[in-house]
Structure 1
Amino acid sequence: MFTVNREAVSEAAVQARMLAYGQAEGASHLPGKRVAVCTSNPVELAAFVLYAKQLGISVLLIHGETPFVTARERAVEAGCSLLLHGDPVQEWVLPADGAGTYPASLLQYSSGTSGDAKLIARSWDEIDTEIRSYNEALQMDPLIRPIVLAPISHSYGLICGLLAAIERKSKPVLITSSNPKVALGQIRDISHHLVYGVPMLFHVLLSLAGENLRFHQLISSGAPLPEPLFDRLYERADRMLQQYGCTEAGCLALSPQAETHTEVGRPLSHLSLEAGDQVDHPGEIVAVTAKGRIHTRDLGYWSDLGRLHLLARMDDVINVSGLKVYPVEVENVLMQCPGVEDAVVFRGHHPIMGERAVALVKSSGTLTSASEAMSSDDPNSGHSMLTEASVLKAWCASKLPPYKVPGEFRMVSDIPRQPSGKISRRMLEEGEIAP
């Protein structure tokens, strides 16, 4: 079925765990109930999800690093009867109040990047429909091994990386070690692979491996790829894929061969998508499914070739004196600056000027190379006296119209991200995350 790269855990170990769940006291009462799973051990998680799917048990996925108290609160709020928590997993019986009988579903809390997290329930039948449509669009040879770097506590890693691979009789490898060198070893050892990752993970891999890393095939999702990172990956992959989705409906679109960092392809066959008609007139991406219309709050547009391009979250767009600034566009420019390792742009507020762009930037130490590059034609420019913020401002001013240049640059040691690798610009704007 699949292999897990930790302590040589094999298919037999997963089957043994599934059998153990089936023999557990009270397991016969679980169909129709909701069970929360919070573990960093993918063997436990994968085994229970497969077992639950077979028996019609609803599963609430909680990220494995979530503390017990928080996991318990979320499980109770979702009406779960049982919480499986930790590594090794311990079973915790939850209060029965409110824990009724439910349709068999996969449950997840939305990421909360643009508002309060909400509980999403999708039936196992819906998941199966997505998997069939996904594999139809992917057209992947079963002999190509998926290497799943994305956590399977999220639908991207679980449904697309794991369950879809099992359905097409492939054998995915789940990378469980937090050491990126382990992932690099698997990528190099498995010649015909498809790596499932998110932008931050790919950035780390490229930083470690440098020019020596070559991908057979890779697929990115979870957050838009910065253009400089897309270009580096494109040069090092035989095939570059991107996909786009949301918690409410799973994968919505897939690009089997992405040519730009914004391209996320065509809709899967079981749904349709609405978006803007051109890059200068983007519109909200709306998914039309068997359950109705889902407003994603993402901005996108259709290219002349009928491919969907993703621009930004609607809530992240910054209104500077009536003009729209897309944070990703500014981040792409910052990431091209020599010495910049990571950057995020979000909405700031000025008491007189109103909204403005604010940039958090992580550098490799100094940005003198950028100032030298800009002043190479002017030996009397005095670039050595420039501060990091002034170098960044001058860099952006040379490549962007004035209204898109951030009004503030903050140098940080790390960019705050959620466990999924996503950035919550709303939380940065509201000060809920300390930069």
Structure 2
Amino acid sequence: MRRIEDYLLQHATTAGDRLAVVCGSEHITYARLCTLVQERARTLAGCGQKGLVLRSSQSIDFLVTYFAAHMADRAIVPLEKDIPEIRFSEIESVVAGNPIPDDIADILFTTGTTGNQKGVMLSHTAILANAENLIGAQGFDQDVTFVISGPLNHIGSLSKIWPMIVVGGTILITEGIKDINAFFSALDYPCRKFATFLVPASLRILMQFGKNKLHEYASKIDFIETGAAPMAQSDMEQLCGILPSTRLYNTYASTETGIISTHDYCHDGCIPGCLGKPMRHASVVITPEGTIACRGPMLMSGYLGDPSLTGTVLRDHTLYTSDLGYVDEQGRLRLEGRADDVINVGGYKISPIEVENVAMAYPDITDCICVCAYHPVVGNVLKLIYVTQAGRPLDQKALVKYLKTRLESYKIPFLYAQADRVERTYNGKLNRKFYKNK
């Protein structure tokens, strides 16, 4: 069984002078990276428990430790860099107190719908299958410089490290896009072509505050992948206008399922919820309840120390999600929201994503969320919370009129509220739990 580290060794031998990682002023070749990994692996081998818990960082040193842990046959458990010390200690205890199968490479802690963190175990086989899925579907190659701006304890960015090491490309690590000028400065790095992964909220920031600058780099940006949260059609259309020749991907993935399918909306149509055809190692089935289930070697092995919870989602080599969807006549996966996000109003079951997609196309609205609210007379109603450009007041009657031309009557929100911001999770998803019972 091959591992990602086998490709690192291969490139160090056959193309050792090729640049592997750039981070700020640091530049490191494949030969040097491999040497550092081997040295650190010797210090980690046979030292302590199998699970290596540490804070992630946007650094070359973190990647050295990451690959070294694998090479030393240990499972790495990367956590958020600013995780509170008490929570760090709790996870250390969980990792130390539970057996870790020999083939496990990574344990990624993720917050589920219950709010409780779960340790998702990924095998070496799953990591390589995910890498091959992305290489085949999105065209990773050694000429690509991939800009990593998201945290390396999350599968969104971590999963891009894997294919880059397989193909022998260059990884460029940044500190996110809170400072968009710093992000654009990274794109000044001399190379043939760039690629990156950005959540929809980050793409929206770039389009709002750096549209013209982004367009200046259009000829150098080979592809951009987004995921973790749905992308509004209006945002897709705007980004296609800014980067008309760039491949722009919506991808279906999660820590548990791995990387499943992808859709190039720039060249194959801006279709809300369209996530393309399953990748090389993946297959999708729709359950009788209308939820998505996935099969393939890229699936997680289970939740650390919780076989009962594992059994609720992983059975007979099939991972059952709470995502609602269907496969269209062209074999493309279409997402309709999450089963636990559906809002029941007057007997109608409504996906808030559909309402949000339409509202996002309204002039001046820069972000929004549709939630369930309680009205003392009519009971459950839809409430639209929205953010406007520069905080300008909005004519709500005009907004309602606009929505009525694009949505069925029962999908029109009953209540409206303007806010300074919409609450999101650390990886850019709408934080629907924050608005429950409020």
TM-score normalised to structure 1 length = 0.81
Match of 2:81 in 1: 64
Deviation at 1:168, TM superposition (A): 1.0
Match of 2:279 in 1: 268
Match of 2:133 in 1: 133
Structure 1 pair 338–15 and aligned structure 2 pair: CA distance change class (3 A): same
Deviation at 1:114, TM superposition (A): 5.6
Aligned-partner Cα distance in 2 for 1:366–1:133:
42
- Partner of 1:344, secondary structure, is strand
Q: More deviation in 226-235 or 60-69?
A: 60-69
1:84-120 Cα offsets, whole Å, 9 max, x none, are: xxxxxxxxxxxxxx26564233111233246533221
Match of 2:233 in 1: 227
Aligned-partner Cα distance in 2 for 1:60–1:352:
50
Match of 1:146 in 2: 146
Deviation at 1:401, TM superposition (A): 2.3
Aligned-partner Cα distance in 2 for 1:221–1:242:
6
1:301-355 Cα offsets, whole Å, 9 max, x none, are: 2222111122211111111112122111111222122221111112223355343
Aligned-partner Cα distance in 2 for 1:306–1:37:
41
**Equivalent residues of 2:198, 2:226 under 8 A apart:** yes
Aligned residues: 388
Aligned-partner Cα distance in 1 for 2:432–2:386:
14
Match of 1:157 in 2: 157
Structure 2 counterpart of 1:361, which letter? Y
**Equivalent residues of 1:42, 1:152 under 8 A apart:** no
**Equivalent residues of 1:113, 1:427 under 8 A apart:** no
Specify every segment of 5 or more residues in structure 1 that has no aligned partner in the other structure, as ranges: 80-97, 372-388
Structure 1 pair 111–233 and aligned structure 2 pair: CA distance change class (3 A): farther
Deviation at 1:391, TM superposition (A): 4.7
Structure 1 pair 425–21 and aligned structure 2 pair: CA distance change class (3 A): same
Which of the residues 30, 54, 60 maps onto 2:71?
54
Kindly, what percent of the aligned residue pairs are identical?
A: 20
- Partner of 1:128, secondary structure, is helix
- Partner of 2:340, secondary structure, is helix
Matched, 1:307 2:332: yes
Aligned-partner Cα distance in 1 for 2:109–2:133:
24
Match of 2:62 in 1: 45
Structure 2 counterpart of 1:140, which letter? F
**Equivalent residues of 2:141, 2:168 under 8 A apart:** no
- Partner of 2:187, secondary structure, is helix
Structure 1 pair 179–366 and aligned structure 2 pair: CA distance change class (3 A): closer
Match of 2:214 in 1: 213
Match of 2:347 in 1: 322
Structure 2 counterpart of 1:265, which letter? G
Structure 2 counterpart of 1:353, which letter? V
**Equivalent residues of 1:228, 1:335 under 8 A apart:** yes
User: What do you get for the CA RMSD once the two structures are aligned?
Assistant: 2.7
Match of 2:302 in 1: none
Structure 1 pair 5–44 and aligned structure 2 pair: CA distance change class (3 A): closer
Deviation at 1:67, TM superposition (A): 2.0
Deviation at 1:298, TM superposition (A): 0.7
Aligned-partner Cα distance in 1 for 2:192–2:213:
14
- Partner of 1:172, secondary structure, is strand
Aligned-partner Cα distance in 1 for 2:332–2:99:
43
Structure 1 counterpart of 2:37, which letter? M
Structure 2 counterpart of 1:136, which letter? G
Match of 2:4 in 1: none
- Partner of 1:213, secondary structure, is helix
